[in-house]
Structure 1
Amino acid sequence: MKRNGARRAGMLRSLLCLVAAAGVVVTAPATAALATPSPSSVEAQIDTQWNQLEPIIEDYNDVHSKLIKNQAQLKKLSNQLTPLQVRVDVALSSVRGLATDAYKQGSPSAISAMLMSGSTNQLTDKLGLLDQLARHQQAQIAGVAKLRDQYAKSKQDLQLLTDSIAARDADLAQKKKAINVKIDALQKLRIKAYGATGGDDGPLRIGPCPVTYNNDAGGKAARKACSLIGKPYVFGSDGPNTYDCSGLTKEAWATVGVTLDHYTKDQWNEGKSVSRGDLQPGDLVFFFPGSLHHVAIYIGGGEVVHAPHTGDHVRMAVMDKVGPIAGYRRPG
């Protein structure tokens, strides 16, 4: 997150010295050169703007994650409605059968039962049978009513869920549009100072990755993160070719079967707290207390792998140079 502006400023000064040594006279263009922002000032602007932008990106990730969960619930609910409708249809068919029989044969009564009976015992048996049939018919009707209520309630819930998803989808579209505008502005700022490459902050690898070899789940997650070094940063992305900060940590831990949400604040709650002294490869390091809008994966030796911001790539970094640390969590 923090960029090595001083180093770039030094490179710029060296370049100016070489130009002077070559005997190039700088007159009028010098005014234009002074109007171009220096790398250090560009990096300061990027740091300020990005620390305002990344929380919006993580909000996007939060909403998008909930949207995916809602869509899964919607599919599950739709699958549940089909067999429920079958049960309703079967129950209704049974009730219609009883109603048809009563219409054709006439509704039996105690008087007709007595006329058809040859003895008191037979009368008692037939009255009992009639009562049992009546209770059965009532139970069938009650069952149908209950199923109908369940069906209506499920259908209502489905409609509410669908409406909620539609509203979230519209909100996401607006957020994504606003974020893209800000990202384009940042990238133009970088190009203005560094050229079309967008700048660089030294090598993407600054040593062995992971620094410490560990073959447990965390070690494997750290190695996965190391394998993604060089992949471009794209907000809202969790692979396979581009990543943002929480998308990178999500992908790394998915390698060992641990599911993390694509949202820094959710990932904070999905692991147990560890102290700095107990850090192991694979642990998550969160930055910016309060907002928690950036996360990296620890690889040992005081270093992390993270996806910094637009125009950059997944890279190694010294943990304490990324930003103010909010805390440490261990997934799994």
Structure 2
Amino acid sequence: MSPLIHTLRALTVAACTLALVAPATVARAEPSPAELTRRIEKSSAELERVVEAHNELREKIKDNRAAVSRLRKQIGPLEQQAAQSRADVGEMAATAYKTGNLGAVDALMHADDPASVLDRLGTLDHLTRQRQASIASYTADQQQLLDQKTRLDVTLSQQAARSKELSTTKQRIERDLAKLYEMRRQAYGRATERPASRANSADDAPAVSGQAGAAVRYAYGALGKPYAWGQDGPNGYDCSGLTSAAWRAAGKQLPHNTKMQWGVVSHISRSQLRPGDLVFYRSLGHVAIYVGDGQVIHAPTFGRNVEKRSVDLMPPYGYGRVR
């Protein structure tokens, strides 16, 4: 066999060996626009649930702060009341020590006549009842003060735990939001929608009377403003932030959380819907305000702007009327 043939065979074997041992390079296709959109919608829905949990924590922290303030205001007078009771009992004890107790035997032995005996016994009974009442009042005041201080300690402990959880949740949202915005850049060329023209949009609101009309006009005025998680205006909103801001403009206070809003509204049927009512979605993960003619205004999700859509933009969970 010629040297040329030996060389060719050696090269062939070497090439086959390299093909077997070399790591395979897998060609990865970029996700299609449709696949990116699906991922964005799924991530947005999941992240919105986290945002609403964050909003619920903030509402509970606000309630806790109000409870702490109330308890501290109550504890001040209770401390004064308990101190006064303590002083009264202390004075009573000191007097008894200095003068000796008035006893029934003493009343009988030093009496000049039967009428005096009855008077002394009556006085004894009155003083005994007074002392018992003072001691009972002292005990009750001390216990009430102790109970209020215990409630305050528990409330402050809850506050600290919720504040820590709030910080953790916020970090998660910001981390996941960065990933979501990167997906939006890949799919749409930018992380957020362009600001929409919203000049005089409140003037486009239908004529609705009363507080509901004020809420609807506010919602129209928010059209085109960006979704901003945890915000209730005036420059951006998340879903429950928009509905709470709209009704705040109408003089009603709603918690900045979808689930809590569901808990304070009157539940109605779809046939009863009228402008100003709230429409809930995604098992209380999203909320919009009904503006009439089968339309709602809502803050949709991250990277999007406040918009007007059909009430059936997704399957409704339920309907509520602000009380």
TM-score norm. by structure 1 comes to 0.80
| Other-structure match for 2:162 | 168
1:318 maps to 2:317: no
**Bigger Cα Rg:** 2
Shift, 1:211, TM fit: 5.1
Return 168-177 or 209-218, whichever deviates more: 209-218
* Residue-by-residue CA offset, 1:212-231 (whole Å, 9 max, x unaligned): 32123222211011122233
Change (3 A) 1:211 1:40: farther
Change (3 A) 1:309 1:260: same
Shift, 1:110, TM fit: 3.5
1:209·1:299 contact (CA, 8 Å) conserved in 2?
no
2:198·2:221 contact (CA, 8 Å) conserved in 1?
no
Shift, 1:326, TM fit: 2.2
Return 227-236 or 149-158, whichever deviates more: 227-236
Aligned counterparts of 2:31 and 2:226: Cα–Cα separation in 1:
25
Shift, 1:287, TM fit: 2.0
1:253·1:260 contact (CA, 8 Å) conserved in 2?
yes
1:327 is paired with a residue of what secondary structure?
strand
Change (3 A) 1:200 1:44: farther
1:108·1:130 contact (CA, 8 Å) conserved in 2?
yes
Aligned counterparts of 1:193 and 1:181: Cα–Cα separation in 2:
19
* Residue-by-residue CA offset, 1:121-163 (whole Å, 9 max, x unaligned): 1122012212211221122112111211111122112211211
- Amino acid aligned to 1:314: V
Where does 1:39-50 land on structure 2 (aligned, <5 Å)?
39-50=33-44
1:304 is paired with a residue of what secondary structure?
strand
- Amino acid aligned to 2:292: G
* Residue-by-residue CA offset, 1:192-216 (whole Å, 9 max, x unaligned): 34345623497669x8865532123
| Other-structure match for 1:100 | 94
Change (3 A) 1:100 1:202: closer
2:196·2:305 contact (CA, 8 Å) conserved in 1?
no
1:132 maps to 2:126: yes
1:211·1:300 contact (CA, 8 Å) conserved in 2?
no
* Residue-by-residue CA offset, 1:40-88 (whole Å, 9 max, x unaligned): 4433221111111211211222222122112211211111111111111
Aligned Cα RMSD in Å? 2.7
1:61 to 35, 55, 58: 55
Residue ranges of structure 1 left out of the alignment (5+ in a row)? 1-33
2:52·2:258 contact (CA, 8 Å) conserved in 1?
yes
Shift, 1:35, TM fit: 6.9
| Other-structure match for 2:75 | 81
Identity of aligned residues (%): 36
1:266 maps to 2:257: no
* Residue-by-residue CA offset, 1:5-31 (whole Å, 9 max, x unaligned): xxxxxxxxxxxxxxxxxxxxxxxxxxx
Shift, 1:247, TM fit: 0.9
**Which gives a bigger RCO, structure 1 or 2 (Cα 8 Å, sep 6+)?**
1
TM-score norm. by structure 2 comes to 0.82
Residue ranges of structure 2 left out of the alignment (5+ in a row)? 1-27
Aligned counterparts of 1:208 and 1:136: Cα–Cα separation in 2:
70
Aligned counterparts of 2:173 and 2:38: Cα–Cα separation in 1:
20
